[in-house]
Structure 1
Amino acid sequence: IKRGPGYLGGILIFLFGLWAIRFLRSRLRNRMAKRHVHSSLQPFLLSLTITSLYVLLIISVMNIIGYELTIFTTIIGAFSVAAGLALSGTFQNFAGGVLILLLKPFELGDNIVAQGQDGKVTSIQIFYTVLLTVDNKTIIIPNGKLFNEVIINVSRENKRRLDFDVRLAYAANIDAARQIITDAINSTENVLIDPAIRVGLIGLEIDSIRFTINVWVEPANYLTVKIALMERIVKDLSAAGIAFPKAG
């Protein structure tokens, strides 16, 4: 009987709190949509905010009713420490996901090299990122590891340099070989004119000389140009009688 007013006040506060939280949920969802918060981040932020409000409401109601909160607070604290230790990796991935979504070192559709993997970004979730490799493999990388290591974004710029070497026999005519390689590059589609191509003798091996080729392409054409150019160079050099080093 002594706690009657406290119970009544607690019930009223609880009912009002439920209504207020539902109202805030709708407003918060609309506000995040208007501010273009990333779709992967919205559900987590909404859930985190609403859960925190529910916990605050319960604590407030218990305080109004008159329950001693010391034991309750101790239990919550111990649980939080245990959960933090158990979910440290999960929190790290969440933090990495938030930083990726906010700082945008890469975006959907970019080709990146990270964690020893090379692929196109097909999905950025709050805990992990999904890559699709050129051989159609799906790679899932935890965001904690991804953000804390080097990320190479090969799509950020509108040009990408294509480099490879060609080894020829010492008997090969250097000037003729250079001209044939240059002509092959100039006749290959999707090779950019600017910056200029570069073909030069870069190494002397035991059994061969080594030319290096540097050309620029759009990132989307990288693999296509590489295959076409290497095939054309080999065919044109062979047709001109330019010798390659003997195997063995």
Structure 2
Amino acid sequence: MVLLDTPVRLGVQVRPQHVTYPQIRDAVLWLEDFGVDIAFNWDHFYPLSGDPDGAHFESWTMLGAWAEQTERIEFGALVNCNSYRNADLQADMARTVDHISAKGGATGRFIFGTGSGWFEKDYLEYGYEFGTAGSRLDDLAEGLRRVEARWQVLNPAPTRKIPVMIGGAGEQKTLRLVARHADIWHSFVKPDAVTSKLEILEQWAEKEERDLSNLTVSNEIGARGVAEVDALYDAGVRLFTLGLDGPDWNFDAVKQWVAWRDAKNAA
């Protein structure tokens, strides 16, 4: 299913917590200049680590700024929360950000990463119904259907088929949504689990009557060492994501993994 000759790409998540916006902007521009493939933020309203009431910025307005401030790098949220916004509005926002990011006649660079949501504080503080994991996944299924339908009728249309990235590894609901909608599947599973999850995805793809030969498999580098990341590569992962916290961004780690990426692509 996975195209093993697909180039390796590196995405860096610039976590929008405990920093100023100029620090975020400068980090993203550094990542673009250094050759990182994708810049991500996340879609939360409060920090996920450190002071729970510390400085934090909203995802989508930031992505609009990135679309204008950058020239080459792809970008998106890792991942958008389906619960926080009307699905048709999400589609329109994505289309608009896609157009903002199109420079010099090129197509847009936006990636629509999305998921069902999980951080209860976001829901409670902002007045959203938390529901259950199952109900949020059902809402995501309906949301994805509406997003794709809205993209078909917007005027103007998106500049390209906006890539859909779905995060999660649940075998009964999430992976079926991946098989139905995703261009990129992101998870945090270990290398041996990648193989078993891909087998489940193949089964869902048969039911959905979809060819997944162009699916990009994505996973998190995190604190993993080179040996484990190599094992993820051997299992078929081709997009690797690295999270950065500021204001003292660990650009040395970025340099290490860019070098690793380049070595894989040159092999």
Query: What TM-score results when the alignment is normalised by the length of structure 1?
Result: 0.20
Higher strand share: 1
Query: What TM-score results when the alignment is normalised by the length of structure 2?
Result: 0.19
Higher relative contact order at CA 8 Å, sep ≥6: structure 1 or structure 2? 2
Say which one has the larger Rg: 1
Higher helix share: 1
